[in-house]
Copies of this chain bind each other. A is one copy, B any other.
Amino acid sequence: MSTINDVNICIATPNGSGSASANNILFKSIFKMGIPCSSKNMFPSNIQSMPTWYEIRASSAGFGSRKDVIDVMVTFNPETGASDVGKLRENGLLLYDTGACEESWLSRNDIQKIGFPATELSKQIPNAKIRSKLRNMIYVGVISSLFGISREVLIAVLRDTFGDKPEVIESNLMAIELGSKWVEENQVTQDICTLVTIEGGNKGKILSDGNTCSALGAIYGGVSVVAWYPITPSSSLAETMEKYLPELRMDEDKNPTYAVIQAEDEIAAAGIITGAGWAGARAMTATSGPGLSLMNEMIGLAYFTEIPSSYFIVQRGGPSTGLPTRTQQSDILSMYFASHGDTRHVILLPHDLQTCFEFSKLCLDLADQLQTPVFFASDLDLGMNIRPSEPLELKSPSLNRGKLIHEKDIEAQGNQFRRYFDLDGDGIPQRTIPGNQHPKAVYFCSGAGHNADAKRSEDPGDYKELLDRLLKKNHTARLLAPQPLVETSETSRIGMISFGSSVEAVREARHRMNQDGIKTSHLTLLALPLSPLVKDFIQKHEITLIVEQNRDGQVASIVRMDWPELAQKIDSVLVYDGLPVTAGSVHRLSMEKLGGKLL
């Protein structure tokens, strides 16, 4: 049964072989047709020649998570061909190069197979140098003809992509045409899916990835010091800032209103933003697990001395080097408890491009408001995979610098200032920064025990008071941080909680469960520490499943620690194989969990 605009195409290639560009053009073309679509790039920790899979999903219902079924497989990687064929669904379509195919791939009889002579065809490309790269464009041509992507759309996308390089457009187009002509000449067809333009579909929408939107969010959030050390999958966040900053953040004298520093390591990156935060700049770093591990000590300093600083953590498969190019949500507890000693941190959990954009600014705001390190927790799937979104919207009107006070403020309050005194009962003291000329403004900042006047103290009472106030501040954060989004249905006894890059898969899984007759409510968690609304939500439901991309149910652990009385009302759905989570796995695992409990 052929669908309209519902298909999942998986393209298997060796990386560094030029397929990235071909896949991108194919994906953008489908987007341009107005069809709801998404893409997932599953690439190796390597620069050239190792297996990559790029999945493009068109979903008429508008589901954007990775699909658990592969309808079309393009096998352009001899190394993985045999196993790739095995991943195709029954009646799925295998596309392969007759010039680079092994017999074993063709043994399945329950699938459709279309072999085309890509290698042979590519010889018609005059420039031998680019021939092997352009071989990938041939499958773009084949697919476009098989599924119904028009030449006009392809040309428009080529233009958008290669703008000022007509010769590149031309050579790519030629390769595409080699493919589509072959289909037409050979009158090949498939009965998987037809792609049909939706007028006005995707109109105004953008295509981007989380890291780009985070970078833009931080720039609009007034960040002025960025220190980072390269590491996948966070590098592109910092690098995108480096790209946009020069155009967005020059003052009238053409001087930058920012500094981006590629540090010598993550300890230095954390040190730099701690120093910058102490001196009053809005400062951030971006890193992933291994960098986070190295930053622990500095995070403890910032926590204990109450220095605003923002840590953008783009999570990947851990522990250790783990799967550096695969996705996971397994650094939650590492962030939450970062540093030795009694520490608790604030973590923001964006789940789409708009929240990536918004929460980046919010992260800088909250760091200033709470005077503490704040974490922005993304992951590889959210950070690096291209997806559609409504245009980015600047919601919060101005920067919140919290209780940062200046000369006139000190005067206004009777020439009094006590750096670490809980003036307002929210645990958050006032703060001055170097350069303040008021004689009472000065304090000495130290990671060793100190009293409310910032004097070093080993007094047991002072010390306990400080620790208790820091915890109070963390409680304040429960309400200051973004509150969860709750969708409840009166009739549902089952709650589901998800966050980050799982949210979209859970939406689809709930849809399927609904079709099975199982109604669920949903809470999108946007931050830690947990809001009281999470408690309400769990209390309201007989059972709440917390969906996470880690082995240990890290957010569920936090729920148990915070509200032990609710502990028996929650259970975990855990997906942690490094691939973007699918609705299918959430659906299946949820049903398993519920099986024993409710049904």
Instruction: Tell me the A residues contacting B by CB distance below 8 Å.
Output: 44-45, 267, 288-290, 292-294, 296-297, 300-301, 303-305, 317-326, 328, 330-331, 333-334, 337, 339-344, 446-449, 458, 460-461, 463-464, 467-468, 471, 550-552, 554, 557, 560-561, 564-565, 567-568, 570, 576-579
CB atoms of A317 and B578 under 8 A apart: no
19 further contact pairs, Cβ within 8 A, besides A289-B341, A321-B447, A334-B340:
A267-B294, A289-B300, A301-B320, A317-B341, A317-B463, A318-B340, A318-B341, A319-B340, A320-B341, A330-B340, A334-B337, A334-B339, A342-B551, A342-B576, A460-B578, A467-B551, A468-B551, A560-B560, A564-B568
Q: Beyond A334-B337, A463-B577, A560-B561, is A552–B342 a contact (Cβ under 8 Å)?
A: yes
- Nearest chain-B residue to A292 (Cβ)? B340
B-side contacts of A296, CB under 8 Å: 293-294, 296, 334
Q: Beyond A463-B323, A567-B565, is A290–B294 a contact (Cβ under 8 Å)?
A: no
Q: Can you report 28 residue pairs joining A to B where beta carbons are below 8 Å apart? A: A289-B340, A293-B296, A293-B300, A296-B296, A297-B320, A300-B319, A301-B320, A304-B321, A317-B463, A318-B340, A318-B341, A319-B341, A320-B341, A320-B447, A322-B448, A330-B340, A331-B341, A334-B341, A337-B337, A344-B552, A449-B578, A458-B578, A460-B578, A468-B551, A471-B551, A557-B561, A561-B561, A564-B568
What's the number of copies of this chain in the assembled complex? Answer: 2
Q: Which of A297, A320, A565, A568 has the most CB of B within 10 A?
A: A320
B-side contacts of A293, CB under 8 Å: 296-297, 300, 339-340
Q: Beyond A294-B297, A340-B331, is A303–B317 a contact (Cβ under 8 Å)?
A: no
- Nearest chain-B residue to A302 (Cβ)? B320
A242 CB, min distance to chain B CBs, angstroms: 25
CB atoms of A579 and B460 under 8 A apart: yes
A368 CB, min distance to chain B CBs, angstroms: 20
- Nearest chain-B residue to A577 (Cβ)? B460
CB atoms of B333 and A318 under 8 A apart: no
Q: Which of A290, A296, A303 has the most CB of B within 10 A?
A: A296
CB atoms of B290 and A304 under 8 A apart: no
CB atoms of B560 and A567 under 8 A apart: yes
CB atoms of B319 and A342 under 8 A apart: yes
CB atoms of A449 and B317 under 8 A apart: yes
CB atoms of A290 and B340 under 8 A apart: yes
B-side contacts of A551, CB under 8 Å: 342, 467-468, 471
Q: Beyond A551-B471, A564-B560, is A341–B337 a contact (Cβ under 8 Å)?
A: no
B-side contacts of A552, CB under 8 Å: 342, 344, 471
CB atoms of B323 and A458 under 8 A apart: yes
- Nearest chain-B residue to A288 (Cβ)? B340
Give the docked Cα–Cα distance between A305 and B320 (Å).
9
B-side contacts of A303, CB under 8 Å: 319-320
A562 CB, min distance to chain B CBs, angstroms: 9
CB atoms of B564 and A448 under 8 A apart: no
Q: Which 10 A-B pairs have the closest CB atoms?
A: A318-B341, A564-B567, A319-B341, A289-B340, A460-B577, A320-B447, A304-B320, A293-B296, A293-B297, A342-B551
Q: Which of A293, A331, A342 has the most CB of B within 10 A?
A: A342
B-side contacts of A292, CB under 8 Å: 340
CB atoms of A458 and B340 under 8 A apart: no
Give the docked Cα–Cα distance between A571 and B388 (Å).
48
Give the docked Cα–Cα distance between A102 and B182 (Å).
103
A501 CB, min distance to chain B CBs, angstroms: 16
A458 interface neighbour in B44, B288, B463, B557, Cβ under 8 Å: B44
A337 interface neighbour in B288, B333, B464, B560, Cβ under 8 Å: B333
